[in-house]
């Protein structure tokens, strides 16, 4: 049995007393962990540096030359209006603020060129026909339009860097310049050893020892393009603390070699487009303030401004009054993270570390300033001392271990004070105090960042507990016998992927774990969850446990009574197998090696389907329901909402007779969503649908239905449109599934092939759709909740046809499930477009 260390201590003491527990390394999944513990992930928008790293290399306002739509072999200058992944929204120059003719194009497939390409290649540059007469002198117009503007870089429009995001432009071997940690006017070249989502592992040129490697996010203000120091009359010297590793000539030789190498494939300047401009500071030498300790970021200490370099940089030294102290210096600027005004700790209820050598036990700033003869830095020096950027206590994220910069850990926010976060890093081999980071720190990342960038994450360990004694409430191992008949509910392929045994441990805990595995191995997990709720015996010694199922993006929860004592486990397992119509030995205390005692391999597939002839629409209320002893009244069926889910039907199941076995098909079950409405389970949807407009589509009343196969046979034998009362205004698109006229026209086609039910028939060419047309279409599908995104991002018909799964996930920030559903609807439009309008 498994328990997450550090998060479920009460659960541990209640369930695992008297058991031998050890911490083990197991696979970690953020989604499962957050769901199990009810924890909350810090919002992605709180990590500004990560948000910037996901943006396109192209910027709004950039100019480029693009082929003219209405005239072959001619081109015109266009402006980038906005970007979405590798998609660009363009507007021909000359249209001003008129957005009616804006168009989307894919950087990877469209013919795009930098400004000046036509002149170099003798191509014709002429404005579109619609605005040809707007200006008498287009040459003069272009000169004014392009003066002071920025052209799209040629290397982003062609070659290996074409269409890449900013972060992806930084490849291993690139050379940058890094500002010295102690001298702001000194830089030295460094080579990229690794790029993890913009987090760079750098080694100084001329240093071959990885012990000196450093990690920085690409937006760090210490990083500059090669040649920066020379252009700004700054020094190019090896780092102060590494000068003695080589002679002066060796350093120079290493730099020359690196520079020659870098010039062959220079790092695009677009990498630095999002670097923040430094603000001027108001600090003076001698001022005192508070700061997160630069060497041990676990506490806050008094520090002093000991040097002012210029209007941008100043030096801070940690206060230490001992005679033999070695000063700790750090170069700062106005926006450096972790610098705070005097009395900040007192006002926020945070302890302030007393300076070394300060005699008084009780630190008081007034006494300390008087003792040192210094002044406190005024509040005007700290313009952003209170922002929290949406972080809250007990949120989870991923963070760099300050003592091991190459390590990223699962972290929990233990407190938030102003712009500082206290983080508890999990999974460390040696425990350490909560580390303190600024909300603008580039060493913290959102949940899932490591997984997205294929980087290892140090996570929580799980406690694996084993029974020491065969107590009353413990059970031995329970076996999952993969070769036994799995019945109509469970997917045999998924069963084969389960472990062969679970336990030993507390009965309820082991059974809950194995039942959860079976639920997730079902064709329709929700249906199995419903069946399991019916397994009950008044003579059992039970405890209630909550079981969960996920189906079609929705989560279902149900409370089930599970036996607590070891002597009832065998009978409980047998009853569950009976309810699921599978072999009684599919799981339980009996291990099956080659041949099942039930001989389920050779038996007919209906041997265990005791309830196959009962009505499927509503579950029985227990084994004695037929005697009229119903513990609960029958629940009235809820009115079914009009939800537009296009279900594909396979042509292979039109005929009633088939060689397909029950365990290979899902024909036996009702629509899961309707089942659960009737059942009354607690339902929570991860992708809620917005209802379509009430005047467009009316509810379709549904009574208890026969099994799906019988329904299909009936349709095949007696074809005819369903009687649906609808009065719908004119729309630009319509689907066969909800269009009355089209249904009538295609009745014969539906009889021959049920996949026609999913085909879309369009009244207008989607290339001509406006943004509102696209929104109308999305609203009419089962992705209606996403229509607002299309409106916000000005996605018209042309842009819709360019969308793919990667761009949908990236630009709309959707999880895989909703993204796939949306792409299915987009593919329907594409198929209709190619069949109706492409020729």
Please answer whether residues 545 and 559 qualify as being in contact, where contact means their C-beta atoms are separated by less than 8 angstroms: yes
pLDDT category of residue 729 using cuts at 50, 70 and 90: very low
Residue 614 has a pLDDT of 40
Residue 469 has pLDDT above 70, yes or no: no
Find out whether 362 and 355 touch, Cβ atoms under 8 Å.
no
Residue entry with tokens 């069949």: 835
pLDDT band, very low/low/confident/very high, at 26 (cuts 50, 70, 90): low
HEC assignment per residue over 22-73: EEECCCCCHHHHHHHHCCEECCHHHCHHHHHHCCECCCCCCEEEEECCCCCC
Distance CA 767, CA 773 (A): 11
The crossing angle, in degrees rounded to 10, of helices 525-533 and 672-679 is 30
Say which range, 214-218, 540-544, 729-733, has the weakest mean pLDDT.
729-733
Q: Which residue has the higher pLDDT, 303 or 528?
A: 303
Residue 283 is predicted with a pLDDT of: 92
Tell whether omega for the bond before 504 is within 30 degrees of 0, i.e. cis.
yes
The DSSP element (H or E) to which 519 belongs, if any, is: helix 507-520
Contacts of 545 (CB under 8 A, 6+ apart): 508, 512, 559, 560, 561, 562
What is the distance between the alpha carbons of residues 274 and 218, in angstroms, rounded to a whole number?
Answer: 10
8 Å CB contact between 622 and 631: yes
User: Distance between CA atoms of 342 and 491, rounded to whole angstroms?
Assistant: 65
Residue 177: per-residue pLDDT: 94
pLDDT value at 772 more than 70:
yes
- pLDDT reported for residue 427: 85
**Three-class DSSP category at 548:** strand
Cα dihedral value 44, 45, 48, 53, nearest 10: 60
Taking 60 as the threshold, does the pLDDT of residue 40 lie above it?
Answer: yes
DSSP SS3 for 9? helix
Say which residue the tokens 């079976």 belong to: 518
| Residue 608 confidence (pLDDT) | 59
Percent of the chain at pLDDT exceeding 70: 76
User: What's the pLDDT at 636?
Assistant: 41
Residue 678 has pLDDT above 60, yes or no: no
Q: If you search the block for the tokens 């739509």, which residue do you land on?
A: 69
Whether the pLDDT of residue 300 is over 90: the answer is yes
CA distance 56 to 607: 60
Beta-bridge partner residues of 409: 399, 458
**What is the per-residue pLDDT for 186?**
92
pLDDT for the residue numbered 692: 36
pLDDT of residue 3: 43
Rounded alpha-carbon distances, angstroms, from residue 208 to 194, 200, 202, 405, 582: 15, 17, 11, 19, 63
Backbone angles phi, psi at 752, to 5 degrees: -75, -35
Contact 279, 335 (CB under 8 A): yes
pLDDT in tens, 221-260: 999 999 999 999 999 999 888 888 889 899 999 999 999 9
How confident is residue 639, by pLDDT bands cut at 50, 70 and 90?
A: very low
Q: What is the pLDDT of residue 396?
A: 95
Answer yes or no: is pLDDT of 719 > 60: no
* Region 170-175 average pLDDT: 91
Give the model's pLDDT for residue 257: 92
Whether the pLDDT of residue 744 is over 60: the answer is no
Yes or no: say if 333 and 381 are a contact pair by the CB < 8 Å rule: no
Span 359-372, mean pLDDT? 84
CA distance 438 to 297: 11
Cα angle, residue 91 at apex, residues 86 and 92 outer, rounded to 5°: 125
Rg (CA), the chain: 34
State the burial class of residue 785 (Cβ atoms within 10 Å of its Cβ: 0-12, 13-18, 19+).
middle
**What are 75-134's pLDDT values in tens digits?**
999 999 988 878 889 999 988 888 888 899 888 888 899 898 898 888 888 888 888 888
Identify which has the larger pLDDT, 492 or 625.
Answer: 492
What's the pLDDT score for residue 291? 94
- Answer yes or no: is pLDDT of 753 > 70: no
Max CA distance (Å), the chain: 100
Q: Which of 122-136, 534-548, 709-723 has the lowest mean pLDDT?
A: 709-723
pLDDT one-digit tens code per residue, 304-324: 999 999 999 999 999 988 878
Q: List the alpha helices (DSSP H) in 311-434.
A: 344-348, 365-372
Q: What are phi and psi of 9, to 5 degrees?
A: -65, -40
Residue 178 pLDDT exceeds 90: yes
Tell me which of 105-119, 275-289, 461-475, 551-565 is least confident.
461-475
Which pair of structure tokens corresponds to residue 832? 């209709």
What pLDDT, on the 0 to 100 scale, is given for residue 189? 94
SS (H, E, C) 609-671: CCCCCCCCCCCCCCCCHHHCCCCCCCCCCCCCCCCCCCCCCCHHHCCCCCCCCHHHCCCCCCC
pLDDT tens-digit map of 376-389: 999 888 877 567 78
Residue with tokens 């500004």, as numbered in its chain: 48
* pLDDT on residue 24: 53
Mean pLDDT, rounded, of the chain: 77
DSSP calls for 136-160: S-HHHHHHHHHTT--BPPGGGTSST
Which residue in 398, 397, 444, 437 sits closest to 418, CA to CA?
A: 437
Task: Quickly count: other Cβ atoms within 10 Å of residue 517's Cβ.
Answer: 17
The predicted structure's pLDDT at residue 837: 81
Q: What tokens appear for 39 in the block? A: 């924890």
């Amino acid at each position: 049995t498994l328990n997450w260390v550090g998060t479920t201590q009460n659960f541990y003491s209640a369930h695992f007393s008297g058991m031998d527990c050890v911490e083990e390394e197991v696979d970690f999944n953020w989604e499962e962990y957050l769901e199990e513990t009810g924890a909350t992930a810090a919002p992605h928008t709180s990590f500004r540096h990560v948000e910037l790293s996901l943006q396109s290399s192209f910027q709004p306002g950039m100019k480029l030359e693009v082929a003219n739509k209405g005239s072959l072999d001619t081109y015109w200058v266009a402006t980038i209006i906005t970007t979405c992944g590798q998609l660009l929204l363009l507007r021909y120059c000359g249209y001003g603020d008129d957005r009616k003719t804006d168009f989307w194009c894919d950087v990877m497939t469209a013919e795009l060129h930098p400004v000046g390409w036509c002149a170099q290649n003798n191509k014709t540059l002429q404005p579109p026909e619609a605005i040809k007469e707007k200006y008498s002198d287009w040459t003069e117009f272009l000169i004014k339009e392009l003066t002071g503007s920025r052209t799209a870089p040629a290397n982003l429009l062609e070659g290996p860097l074409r269409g890449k995001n900013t972060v992806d432009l930084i490849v291993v071997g690139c050379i940058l310049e890094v500002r010295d940690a102690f001298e702001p006017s000194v830089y030295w070249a460094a080579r990229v050893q690794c790029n993890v989502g913009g987090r760079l592992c750098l080694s100084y040129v001329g240093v071959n020892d990885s012990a000196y490697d450093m990690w920085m996010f690409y937006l760090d203000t210490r990083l500059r393009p090669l040649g920066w120091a020379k252009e700004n009359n700054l020094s190019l010297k090896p780092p102060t603390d590494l000068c003695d590793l080589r002679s002066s000539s060796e350093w120079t030789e290493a730099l020359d070699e690196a520079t020659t190498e870098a010039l062959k494939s220079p790092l695009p300047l677009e990498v630095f487009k999002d670097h923040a401009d430094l603000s001027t500071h108001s600090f003076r030498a001698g001022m005192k303030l508070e700061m997160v300790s630069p060497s041990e970021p676990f506490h806050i200490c008094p520090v002093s401004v000991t040097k002012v370099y210029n209007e941008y940089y100043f030096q801070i030294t940690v206060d230490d009054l001992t005679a033999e102290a070695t000063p700790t210096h750090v170069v700062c600027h106005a926006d450096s993270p972790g610098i705070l005004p005097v009395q900040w700790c007192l006002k926020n209820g945070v302890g302030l570390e007393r300076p070394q050598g300060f005699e008084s036990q009780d630190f008081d700033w007034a006494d300390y300033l008087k003792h040192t003869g210094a002044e406190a830095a005024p509040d005007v020096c700290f313009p952003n001392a209170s922002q929290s950027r949406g972080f809250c206590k007990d949120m989870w994220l991923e963070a760099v271990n300050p003592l091991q910069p190459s390590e990223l850990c699962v972290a929990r926010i233990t407190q938030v004070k102003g712009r500082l976060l206290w983080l508890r890093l999990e999974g460390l081999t040696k425990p350490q105090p909560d580390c303190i980071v600024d909300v603008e720190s580039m060493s913290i990342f959102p949940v899932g960042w490591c997984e997205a960038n294929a980087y290892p994450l140090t996570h929580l360990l799980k406690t694996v507990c084993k029974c020491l004694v065969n107590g009353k409430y413990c059970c031995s191992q329970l076996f999952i016998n993969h070769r036994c008949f799995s019945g109509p509910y469970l997917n045999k392929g998924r069963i084969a992927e389960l472990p062969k045994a679970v336990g030993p441990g507390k009965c309820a805990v082991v059974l809950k774990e194995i039942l959860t595995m079976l639920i997730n191995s079902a064709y329709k997990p929700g249906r199995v969850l419903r069946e399991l709720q019916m397994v009950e015996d008044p003579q059992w010694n039970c405890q209630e446990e909550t079981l969960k199922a996920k189906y079609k993006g929705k989560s279902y929860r149900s409370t089930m009574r599970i036996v607590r004592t070891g002597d009832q486990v065998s009978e409980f397992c047998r009853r569950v197998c009976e309810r699921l119509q599978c072999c009684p030995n599919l799981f339980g205390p009996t291990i099956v090696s080659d041949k099942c005692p039930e001989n389920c391999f050779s038996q007919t597939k209906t041997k265990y389907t005791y309830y196959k002839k009962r009505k499927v629409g509503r579950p029985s209320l227990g084994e004695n329901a037929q005697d009229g002893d119903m513990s609960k009244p029958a629940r009235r069926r809820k009115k079914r909402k009009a939800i537009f889910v296009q279900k594909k039907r396979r042509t292979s199941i039109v005929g009633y007779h088939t060689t397909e076995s029950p365990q290979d098909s899902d024909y036996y079950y009702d629509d899961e969503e309707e089942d659960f409405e009737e059942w009354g389970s607690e339902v929570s949807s991860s992708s809620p649908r917005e209802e379509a407009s009430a005047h467009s589509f009316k509810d379709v009343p549904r009574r208890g239905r026969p099994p799906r196969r019988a329904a299909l046979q009936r349709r095949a034998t007696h074809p005819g449109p369903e009687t649906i009362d609808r009065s719908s205004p004119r729309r630009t698109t319509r689907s066969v599934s909800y269009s009355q006229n089209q249904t009538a026209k295609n009745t014969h086609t539906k009889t021959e092939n049920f996949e026609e039910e999913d085909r879309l028939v369009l009244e207008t060419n989607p290339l001509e759709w406006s943004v509102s047309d696209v929104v109308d279409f999305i609203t009419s599908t089962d992705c209606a909740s996403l229509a607002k995104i299309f409106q916000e991002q000005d996605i018209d018909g042309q842009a819709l046809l360019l969308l793919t799964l990667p761009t949908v996930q990236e630009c709309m920030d959707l999880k895989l499930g909703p993204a796939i559903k949306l792409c299915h609807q987009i593919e329907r439009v594409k198929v209709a477009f190619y069949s109706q309008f492409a020729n």
